[in-house]
Amino acid sequence: FRFKESLAEDLQSADLVISHAGAGSCLETLEKGKPLIVVINEKLMDNHQLELAKQLHRDGCVLYCNCSTLVETLQSMNLSALKPFPPGQPEKFALFLDKVFGLQ
């Protein structure tokens, strides 16, 4: 894709999303309930995308690979084994902040 203001429409109509392992891309896709394969960019500083991809994979929410193993991942994937991503609970974070700052 070239730059788009929003991928919401594309995500809504997708049966499978293949994305880099950026936190925003991963979370937006998972919150929409779409199966996700993340392709890590091993050239990024400290390989931080790998950390996120591994954790989401351990949680059972995504499959991950690198560019050289994408075809193999597509051929062997079992999307039915992926678990739904749990919904966020921003109210818990708000309560925590209220306690920290003495607002409660």
The reported pLDDT for the residue numbered 85 is: 94
pTM for this one? Answer: 0.81
The reported pLDDT for the residue numbered 19 is: 95
Residue-wise pLDDT tens digits, 48-63: 889 999 999 999 999 9
Domains of the chain: 7-101 (3.40.50.2000)
Confidence tier at 90 by pLDDT (50, 70, 90): confident
Confidence tier at 70 by pLDDT (50, 70, 90): very high
Residue-wise pLDDT tens digits, 34-46: 999 999 987 776 7
20-26 contact pairs (CB < 8 A, 24+): 20/49, 21/49, 21/50, 21/52, 21/53, 21/64, 22/49, 23/52, 26/52, 26/53, 26/56, 26/62
